[in-house]
Amino acid sequence: MKLLFGLSALILCLYRSDASTGPNIVAHPIEVTNQTSAVLSCNLTNPTSAVRGHYWTRNGKVIETVEQSPALYTEYSLDKIDSRSSGLYECVFLSDPQVQMAIEVKTSPDVSAYKHSEYGNENDKGVMVCVSHGYPLPYNWRWFKMQDGVEQPIVNDTGRYTIKSTPNKTVLTIEELDMELDMGDYRCYGDSVVDSKFDTIHLRVRSRLAALWPFLGIVAEVIILVTIIFIYEKRRKPDEINDDDDSGSAPLKSNAATNHKNKDVRQRNSN
Ligand SMILES: *[C@@H]1O[C@H](CO)[C@@H](O)[C@H](O)[C@H]1NC(C)=O
Ligand SMILES: *[C@@H]1O[C@H](CO)[C@@H](O)[C@H](O)[C@H]1NC(C)=O
Ligand SMILES: *[C@@H]1O[C@H](CO)[C@@H](O)[C@H](O)[C@H]1NC(C)=O
Ligand SMILES: *[C@@H]1O[C@H](CO)[C@@H](O)[C@H](O)[C@H]1NC(C)=O
């Protein structure tokens, strides 16, 4: 028992001495949540070698060119924190080895519908999409259908509904759209550790017939056109006769008529 105590005391002592002698970065603040602006700072103590410079990164990308300086302190000002400037920030000191410290800058998830108005045809699939930007991304997505102003939860995989989600995107699919059941407003909620945000999508369901309208329109057009041509042709015949009379081609016609008569006579004679 005594040995165990001694051993753990020794380990603690070694750990402490290591912590107090090694390089250490004190970041301030450690985390920023729900703020509109902030000044991030890092203070390096006990560097193992001379510091050649420092820089800052956001989500692993360098956001400030390296400042060549032996300084052990650096700060970065965020004048406006929103979903575009939130993220995982890191201060990096160029020493041997390089040392760094992370500061999380968190905002409410920026949840938005891919399209605020969606259309689907009866019996087809309905697809609605919401996306999120910023840091941190939602760890959970939920969908609701609005029924008389009240949110009705949509359960995944109950046959008609399928929800597929990743941290930055959620897709709700409805099988065999029904005009009565499915038309209306839908809400997607993105839940992050900071807050929950939602956006609304209005789904319209068109009847199968409506989908056929353009085709039926063309058919109707053709029918009308054919009818017009037909009527025109029918009416043209008596007009033609009048025209012929006017243009003085009457003799030709009467000839034809007499020929016709002659033919009839001939035919009768031969009988
Ligand atoms: C950095 O840390 C040291 C030791 O903890 C402290 O004395 C010093 O004031 C700090 N510097 C800044 C700029 O915060
Ligand atoms: C919904 O169910 C499908 C099929 O079982 C599954 O692949 C998907 O991960 C589920 N989505 C959620 C958000 O649970
Ligand atoms: C969402 O995340 C995936 C990886 O998880 C990435 O490939 C994709 O580009 C991201 N999309 C957006 C819109 O940020
Ligand atoms: C962030 O602010 C929202 C309201 O703007 C609040 O509901 C939420 O609890 C806050 N989150 C944290 C972690 O303070």
Please write the tens of the pLDDT for every residue from 31-65.
Answer: 999 999 999 999 999 888 899 999 999 999 999 88
Tell me the per-residue pLDDT of 75-107, one tens digit each, with 9 for 90 and over.
999 999 999 999 999 999 999 899 999 999 999
CA dihedral 44, 50, 52, 58 (to 10 degrees): -30
What local confidence, expressed as pLDDT, does residue 21 receive?
A: 67
Angle (CA) 15-19-22 rounded to 5° is 130
Which atom in ligand 1 lies closest to the alpha carbon of residue 43?
1
Please state the rounded mean pLDDT for residues 119-128.
94
Query: From CA 159, how far away is CA 165, in angstroms rounded?
Result: 17
Query: From CA 95, how far away is CA 239, in angstroms rounded?
Result: 104
Which atom in ligand 1 lies closest to the alpha carbon of residue 73?
13
- DSSP alpha helix (H) spans, the chain: 2-21, 179-182, 208-246, 250-270
For residue 72, the 8-state DSSP code is S
Token pair, residue 171, equals 């897709």
Question: Ligand 1 centroid to 22 CA: how many Å?
Answer: 16
